[in-house]
């Protein structure tokens, strides 16, 4: 799983996790790995681009 997101100040970041489950585990940690409000610009799962619009929190809810 790989996705690019944009935070409120306009900066963009790309994060990569082995699986969606690894992303969920990271977000369940004592502090969020990624800001919930970050807008997801692109999502790739298993090498295929996924049509997704939403925030990091929406992405979490999709895979939780």
pLDDT in tens, 13-47: 999 999 999 999 888 886 767 889 999 999 999 99
Whether 48 contacts 15, CB under 8 Å: no
Which band of pLDDT confidence, cut at 50, 70 and 90, is reported for residue 62? very high
Q: What is the mean pLDDT of residues 6-10?
A: 96
Q: Please enumerate, as own/partner, the contacts of 18-22 that have beta carbons within 8 Å and a separation of 24 or more.
A: 20/45, 20/63, 21/63
On whether the pTM is more than 0.85, the answer is: yes
Q: H helices of the chain, where?
A: 20-27, 56-63
Q: What is the pLDDT of residue 28?
A: 87
* pLDDT score recorded for residue 33: 73
CATH 3.30.1490 given to domain 2-63: yes
Delimit the domains of the chain by residue range.
Answer: 2-63
Q: Which of 23, 8, 18 is nearest to 59 (CA)?
A: 23
């Amino acid at each position: 799983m790989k996705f690019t997101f944009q935070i409120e100040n306009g900066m963009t970041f790309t994060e990569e996790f082995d699986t969606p489950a690894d992303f969920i585990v990271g977000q369940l940690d004592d502090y969020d790995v990624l800001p919930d409000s970050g807008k997801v610009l692109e999502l790739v799962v298993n090498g295929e681009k996924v049509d997704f619009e939403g925030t990091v929190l929406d992405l979490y809810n999709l895979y939780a």
